[in-house]
Structure 1
Amino acid sequence: MSEAWKIDDTIDITDVVCPITFVKVKMALEDLDDGQILGVHLNEGEPIQNVPRSLKDEGHKVLSVSQAADGTYDLVVQKGGREL
């Protein structure tokens, strides 16, 4: 995870598959206040393709995506409020 942001919470979803990956991230974000930051550890393939896009579609800000040596990814996302 990047040290550039203060991570408020983290979640590891490497043990689940789509579409449950996004559901788990969405549930974790519900526990945070707008502007807080969540670190997400996820697998390559569908999760890294779909989760960041779905987060953006929901109005959240993806701050960084980095690949770990084992092929998994670390995603840093800032919870955003939905604009009506």
Structure 2
Amino acid sequence: MHESDTKYDVILDAREDRCPMPLLKAKMALSKMTSGQCLCVKASDSGSLKDIPHYVHLVGFSLLSTSEDNDIYTFVIQKI
């Protein structure tokens, strides 16, 4: 699935943030979303590669995609 194929309900730009802020901001955004909505998170902190997928798995949401381009990590999460 490519970014252009997905409609995002919320886009979170955490590219300037350092650990643990991308994860904390993603948690806050997801808490305000309804079931079925999609969140796109963009982060530059490499800790996000471990933190965000781990959190998504813990809470039972769906990680639809993870990609990396020029040291920017993009996560697409669907709230279940």
TM-score by length of structure 1 reads: 0.82
Give the counterpart letter for 1:73 in structure 2: Y
Whichever structure has more helix as a proportion of its residues is 2
- The ranges of structure 1 where at least 4 consecutive aligned residues each deviate by more than 2 angstroms after the TM superposition are none
**SS of residue matched to 1:74:** strand
Share of identical aligned residues, percent?
Answer: 29
Alignment size in residue pairs: 79
Query: What's the Cα RMSD here?
Result: 1.5
Q: Does 1:61 align with 2:50?
A: no
Contact 1:61 1:78 (C-alpha < 8 Å) held by counterparts: yes
Equivalent position of 1:75 in the other structure: 75
Give distance in 1, aligned partners of 2:17 and 2:48: 9
The alpha-carbon deviation at position 61 of structure 1 amounts to 0.5
Whichever structure has more strand as a proportion of its residues is 2
- Any unmatched runs of 5+ in structure 1? none
